[in-house]
Amino acid sequence: MSKKNLFMRTPEVSTYTSYGCLFSIMDDRLWPWIYNNFIQITYAHTWGIFAFENHVRLLSNCPGISYYEIPRIVVDYKWDKKIKNLIIEALEMDYYVYIYVDRYYIKQSSSYQKYCSPHEVLICGYDLSKRTFTIADNLENGKFIVTECTFDEVEKGYWAIKSKYDFMTNIRYLKQNKEYTCHINLPQIILNIDNYLLSKKNYDLIQDQEFDYGFDAYHRLFADILNAEKSFELDWRGFHLLYEHKILMEMRIKYLLDIEVISCSSNFLEAITKLKNDFLVLRNLVIKYNLTLDRNILERIKGNLEDSLNRERSYLFDLLNDLKQNLEKEHSVL
């Protein structure tokens, strides 16, 4: 076969490449698992980023994704240090390939031939006649896109990664798992919302750095705004994650209404739609501030963030009470 491209859909969430990958290759049966999760937000101190909890394990723990990982040394022996051959072979078997490459070698990247920038990339197709791979990554000013790059770019980009950490040099094979089922888990959703509100860690995981959880994590956003008053730009990714967090909450509420877990007479859907739109405005204000460094915009960002988070907190307490009442009704019927 001289050309092949695997299935890709437009992702609802793509703040980071791993999220874009998951939401691009998943099938619709996975939505209940998505709704059970993707609620708690963390701030990772070492990485300096906001992310959904269990960030690094979302792909490997996802029931809808078959996930396999092999070390770089296997490429040395089996493929004679030709990552190109490994990738083509994997794609022939309908496996996506998820690896780190140095964006210094990727023409579509703003880092191209400027500075080293190790980053994940999903490879989802190839064209032998053009000697190109189809890749997906947050390459367009942080936007997740599907584009092409040459075999040579990927080859150089992969082997340029020098790290003592296996996660940066290992190769991951991903494929839709056809043999799985998942269902909505109301107690899990309640637990996740409760822990998000109370800034508690959900799971007893081994962690390699300090994390802040839930609403406590947002103190970092206000600290960043304060630092930006010294004419620094704001990291827009945290604000974008908040917006995507509300996208998923709106979808979750629609689903819970459809299965009659939430009363149709409630105004939860209208309220979360308003919150989602407000967080989009907030994210756009951050982008505008970074272009202008106008301190008046910075004051609007701070005020809008305070107001939106207060309204979200109140909204979630009301939602939590409603969900707990419905769960009690279910148990009383049983």
Q: What is the pLDDT of residue 134?
A: 98
Round to whole Å and give the CA distance between 51 and 167: 18
Amino acid identity for residue 119 in this structure:
H
Given phi > 0 = left and psi -120 to 50 = alpha, else beta, which region is 269?
alpha
- Give per-10-residue mean pLDDT for the chain (334 aa): 93 95 96 97 92 89 95 84 92 97 94 92 97 95 93 95 88 95 95 95 70 95 89 91 98 95 86 98 96 93 97 96 83 53
Q: Which of 324, 39, 63 is nearest to 197 (CA)?
A: 39
Whole-model pTM above 0.75? yes
Q: What is the pLDDT of residue 330?
A: 67
Write the CB contacts of 96 (distance below 8 Å, at least 6 apart in sequence): 6, 21, 25, 90, 122, 123, 124, 173, 174, 175
The DSSP result for 150-200, as a single string, is EHHHHHHHHHT---S-HHHH-EEEEEE-SS------HHHHHHHHHHHHHT-
